[in-house]
Structures are given as structure tokens and as C-alpha cells.
Structure 1
Amino acid sequence: MMKKIIAAGILSSVFASASGLAETLISDRFCADPSAHKFGDTFYVYATNDQENSGKYWDSTQWRLFSSKDLKSWKDEGSFLHNSVFKWAAEDAKAWAPGAFERNGKYYFYAPVGGNQIGVAVSDNPKGPFVDPINKPLVEKPRDKNVGDEPIDPAIFIDKDGQAYMYFGTRVPKVVPLGENMVSLAGDITDVVINGYPKDDPKKKYGEAPFLHQHDGKYYFTFSTGWPGQIVYATGDSPLGPFDYQGVIIDYLEINTNHHAIVQDGDKNYLFYHDKVKEGGGNYRRSILVTEMEYGENGKIKQIDLKNRKIN
């Protein structure tokens, strides 16, 4: 039976996976699509708000924020942003999987607004209030070339030379360099090339939820393979790719989406993802969890075995 401690808006639920790693459910509310970060001494997770959707589709119009000092006890910071911050967006535009980043004391929030546009908002505080600094979409279909089927699921990476990149897209992953101001594009949108997919598994292909991080000089491109999808990874020598497929981090779940983020904190690495773990949960009522992620020999990411996990 799940052990929960709920007080003053703070929830802590911990369980062990078959791999022996402790896992934490970050909220008793339904939420999904984590964009996880450590700003200062605090962890933040920006999420989609499954609690407020219809239960029949991902049609919430606001994003939710959670914070923690220790990755165990989490505070619900509320629905910190509504799609109405983007005056150019439709009133019922869906608030889909976001990305966020901090640079030079400013906090940037990248938000898919419906399936055709990505907006950007900025704040002096990770909790907001956020404002739209450009009053137009950062990326828009069909205005911009090569945005693919859906410009959604933005994730931000800043390389050691200071260049920022935004990864996004479904079915074909996309990358575009950002301007130093983080609210403009600084080049063309290009395809991310992934080589070496296992030929014996036709489902093993890019689906959505791109993410990039660096470890021991290598670039790790992680993503979901589809609907349903695994979280898998590929490695390369440049943030622009090409990347070579390496293996699975999280296997197929019993829901039709999979979405993750990775936070590096000192010598620890944490993987955030969503799953169906609460009563009443499902494809449109998901929950976010965090677990430690480990590397093995030659920089291989160890697969997180969730098949036999037990909730304590």
C-alpha cells in the first residue's frame, strides 16, 4: 500500500523499483510531461495539468508547478500559468508538454500552445509571474520551415560554448539554435539524425519528447519511441547530432504516452517520467515520478526495471 504524507500542500510517496532504486510520486494530483530542473537549492517540475483536463483528451489550458528541496517532499505551487498569457493563442488552445531553462537570472518557459505553435514566456522568478516578451509564437506552423507534423515538446540545452538549442517535434525530431536572448531563433530548424535503430523492432523509432544532456563529454539524446513508447537514448559528439542508438532506459508502460526529463545534481542523476500509478489513472490521468538514473560501463545508461516494482 502506498505510504503518503500530505500536509500544507506537501506530498511525499516513496516506493522501490525492481532495480532497487527509490522512486517518488511528486504529487497526489494527476500531472504529466515533466520539465524538471534544479534552480539554486530547489528542484522544480513544470508539468501539464491532467487534473484539470476533461479526462477524455489532453485538453487542459494551464500548466502546473511543483517544487522540492530534497526530491522526496514536494510542494504543489499551483497552476502558475494559463494559455491566456499568449494573447495570440486561441482561447481553448491546449497547454501541452513544456520546457524551461534559466539563464542570466531569468527563467524561460517554452510552451506548446495547441499542436501548431510554441510560445515563450519569461520571469524573474521560477514560480512566475511569466510574461510573453515577443507577443508572437517563437515557432509556428506553417509560418516556419521544417517544423514537422507538430511543433510540440520543447526541451532546451545550452552547450559549453554558450549556444542554446531547442529540441522539439513528433515523428521527426527537430533542433534549432536560439539567440542569446533565449526568445529568438538564431538559425534554421533542422532534423536530428538518429542512426542504428534495431532492425528487428519496427516500433523502435523516434516518436516525441526529445531531451538532450551531456555526460563525460558525450551528448545523450533521449526520447520516446511513440504511442505507446519506450524512453530510449542515442549518443553523439555534437548537440546537433548525428546520434547513434544505444538502448532502452524505460520500457513500454501501460499508457499510450511516455515523457521524461533528466536532472544532473553533483554526481547524481535523476530521471522524471509519467505513468499510470494512482487509482483512477490512465491515458489522460497520469502521474509524475522521479527515480535515480545510473551509468554503467562505457557510459551506458542502465535500464530502469519497472516490471516488478512494489509500492511500499
Structure 2
Amino acid sequence: MRNPLNLKAPAAALAASLALLAACQSTETKQETTATTVPAETSKTDSAAGPKFLSQPLVKDIYTADPSAHVFDGKIYIYPSHDIETGMPENDKGDHFAMNDYHILSMDSVGGPVTDHGVALAVKDIPWAGRQLWAPDAAFKNGTYYLYFPVKDKQDVFRIGVATSKTPAGPFKAEATPIAGSFSIDPAVFTDTDGKSYMYFGGLWGGQLQRWQKGTYDANAPEKEPSGDVPALSARVGQLSADMKHFDGPVQDVKILDEAGKPLLASDTKRRFFEGSWMHKYNGKYYFSYSTGDTHLLVYAVGDKPTGPFTYKGVIMEPVQGWTTHHSIIEVKGKWYIFYHDTQLSGKTWLRNIKVTELKRKADGSIETIVP
């Protein structure tokens, strides 16, 4: 997820983003924990002379990405990454995505004012963490809210941790150790109608998934995934234990098949898994969606069980402005929405902003492609 498209904002937008960045960096040093509310954005365009976008950023005073949205207690809560400017050069390992903490956002309805509840968890509060808090997710069970997060440990290996809170807005307290058997990035937790919960995770290149093919971390493995006509690497899925803090058994590959029932190949870069898993259920079917990474698409596959296998079905969203693309899908009051990000505010791949737009389906349950 590491080479930008070099999409450049107009000069005016860049100037505005620099001013915004200065303000953003100033507020980041304060580590605020109080909630602030910003009005909803209603305009669908920047200006008559500027570029047009499908939707507007949900917040503009900080940079946010990778939005995991949920409805808790009748309110929408969003668990995004918190992008910051570090001055690190871009590389394929994603070192320039050097996030230090999470802010949790909420709103009563899509299109309504957004509340920033401040810092919910920071690297310094995680006993085993080294650096880089990447895309998180959240879940609720047992009267407790769980925040799942990937962060590099002190040996610079990505693991997945869990933190808990009695409120969906946090703050969250991290467990002393990462989840046993976890690795790589982008945890996404889905709880089925039978009460069982599953975690989907994994990401290629900087996400290190390709270094776990022998069951343990291989520091000498290639930086990128296999190529050619070999089966593509895929996400992992594991059922969570009753306490939501462990895996209930071994994790397994998420099998994504083509229309002929064969595994997608590494060379099939517009369909194979790269990162950014999400799961939702619709009319009894399980929709596993994800990013294709270096081809910049959000796509989906459908299965009959939460653990798969899943058959590839199509594109959810065409490429956004910026290199990365990451999403979540939820139902709110009978309508479906996709939360996503682009780089409208900054024009920089590592300084993103989250957005939301309606997700529409055809009569057969297939998802209509969105052009952002």
C-alpha cells in the first residue's frame, strides 16, 4: 500500500492543506481527551473551480483513514487511523504511515454533526508496542467494548492487540500482550447472528503477511508477495473465544475463488486480496470485501459461511484519490453505507480523510460499483 499515484491537488487546495496541517500538528501535541463536535458537511463539491468529490470529509481538523464503522446503542461510532506528518520518506513498507494514537468519532445519523471523542489509545499506553498504530476495528460483547489494533512490537513485527472499555468512545486499556497467534495488520471483527465472533486480518507488503507463510515470522522473506500463476496469498480468519481476547482454535486462510471455483492467482492483481478486510451479512449471505492494494480497488466475494470459501463477485469502489483504499460497510435505519477515505484535504497519500456514501445493491444482492 505504499506507492502514491502522484495525484496532485490544485495549488489553492494545497495551500489550504498546509495551513490545516500546521493546525493539526499543533492539536496533536496536546493529546486531547475531551470530545469536540463539528457540523455536518452538506456540499458535494469543493467549489465551482475545484475538483468534485462524491462526498466530503467527515472531519477536517485532524487527518483520518481506514474507517471501521459500527452502530452501538443507536449511534454510529467510527474507529479510524489517525494520520500525522512525520517527514519520513515514502517506501513500500509504509514507514511514512507512522500513526501514534486513535481518535474515536461518533454521529447520531449519517450527515449529522460529528463528535471527536479525543485520544482513545496511544502507542505509549501499550506495554508491548514499538511503533505504527495502523487500521483498527471494534466490537461489543459481554457488556464490554473491544478495540482491536495492529502495531509493531519492539522487534518491529506487526501483531494484533486488544483493548477494552465500558463505553464505545473509550478511553481503552490495552492488554499486556498481543493476541496469541495473531500477526500482520487490519483486524476486522464480525459477530454473526448466532453470537459467534470472527476476526479477519492480514495485509501484504508493509503488512508483512508474506513473511508468515511458514507459520512463524521469516525476516528473510521477500518484501512483496509471490507473483505469477501461483495461488495468491490471502487474509486469515479465526474464531474468537468467549472473552473476545483470544482465538478459539487455529486461524485459517480465507479462500477466495474465481467463477470456476479455482483460487485467485497472484497475477490477478485486480481481484486478489491485498489488505483491508471487512465482513457484512446480507440476506443470509456473507460478503467478504477487501482492497486490492496496488491496483487501488475495493472488491468483494460472497460465501455461505463466515469462514468461506468466498466467490469473487465484483468491484465495490473504483480508485480514490491517493494510493491506499480502505473501507467498512454498515446498515443504518434500513440503508447501507460505505465508509472510506481519500486525500482530498492534503493531496498526500499518508494524510487522508474519511468519508461516507450510500451503498446500493441490485435485486440479486450484487453491489453497484461506486465511482468516487
TM-score, normalising length: structure 1: 0.85
Please give the per-residue CA displacement for 1:220-259, whole angstroms capped at 9, x wherever unaligned.
Answer: 0000011242000100000000000000011122322110
For residues 86 and 354 of structure 2, the distance between their equivalents in structure 1, rounded to whole angstroms, comes to: 16
Partner residue in 2 for 1:101: 139
What letter is aligned with 1:116? Answer: F
Task: Answer yes or no: is the 8 Å Cα contact 2:119–2:171 preserved in 1.
Answer: no
- How far off is 1:151 after superposition? 1.4
SS at match of 1:12: coil
1:20-169 equivalences under 5 Å are 23-28=55-60, 29-51=62-84, 53-54=86-87, 56=89, 57-72=96-111, 73-90=113-130, 93-114=131-152, 115-133=157-175, 135-139=176-180, 144=181, 151-169=184-202
Partner residue in 2 for 1:277: 344
Task: Answer yes or no: is the 8 Å Cα contact 2:270–2:295 preserved in 1.
Answer: no
User: Which of 293, 301, 304 is the equivalent residue of 2:359?
Assistant: 293
For residues 107 and 254 of structure 2, the distance between their equivalents in structure 1, rounded to whole angstroms, comes to: 33
SS at match of 1:120: strand
Q: Which has the higher strand share?
A: 1
Aligned residues: 286
- How far off is 1:82 after superposition? 0.4
SS at match of 2:59: coil
For residues 129 and 54 of structure 1, the distance between their equivalents in structure 2, rounded to whole angstroms, comes to: 28
What letter is aligned with 2:132? Answer: K
Higher alpha-carbon Rg: 2
For residues 58 and 41 of structure 1, the distance between their equivalents in structure 2, rounded to whole angstroms, comes to: 32
Please give the per-residue CA displacement for 1:73-109, whole angstroms capped at 9, x wherever unaligned.
Answer: 112222221022221222xx11100010111321000
For residues 170 and 261 of structure 1, the distance between their equivalents in structure 2, rounded to whole angstroms, comes to: 16
- How far off is 1:130 after superposition? 1.3
- How far off is 1:34 after superposition? 0.6
Q: Is 1:179 the equivalent of 2:241?
A: yes
- In the alignment, structure 2 segments of 5+ residues that lack a partner are 1-11, 14-35, 46-52, 90-95, 205-233
CA RMSD of aligned residues (A): 2.3
Task: Answer yes or no: is the 8 Å Cα contact 2:67–2:340 preserved in 1.
Answer: yes
Task: Answer yes or no: is the 8 Å Cα contact 1:152–1:170 preserved in 2.
Answer: yes
For residues 151 and 85 of structure 2, the distance between their equivalents in structure 1, rounded to whole angstroms, comes to: 16
SS at match of 2:63: coil
SS at match of 1:203: coil
Task: Answer yes or no: is the 8 Å Cα contact 1:229–1:257 preserved in 2.
Answer: yes
Partner residue in 2 for 1:310: none
Q: 1:54 to 1:80 in 2, by over 3 A?
A: farther
Task: Answer yes or no: is the 8 Å Cα contact 1:118–1:138 preserved in 2.
Answer: yes
Task: Answer yes or no: is the 8 Å Cα contact 1:54–1:60 preserved in 2.
Answer: no
For residues 327 and 179 of structure 2, the distance between their equivalents in structure 1, rounded to whole angstroms, comes to: 23
What letter is aligned with 2:185? Answer: I
Q: 1:60 to 1:42 in 2, by over 3 A?
A: same
Task: Answer yes or no: is the 8 Å Cα contact 2:85–2:351 preserved in 1.
Answer: no
For residues 244 and 178 of structure 1, the distance between their equivalents in structure 2, rounded to whole angstroms, comes to: 24
Partner residue in 1 for 2:326: 259
SS at match of 2:177: coil
For residues 302 and 27 of structure 1, the distance between their equivalents in structure 2, rounded to whole angstroms, comes to: 26
Q: Which has the higher helix share?
A: 2
Partner residue in 2 for 1:13: 41
User: Which of 281, 286, 290 is the equivalent residue of 1:214?
Assistant: 281
- How far off is 1:59 after superposition? 0.4
- How far off is 1:66 after superposition? 1.1
SS at match of 1:14: coil
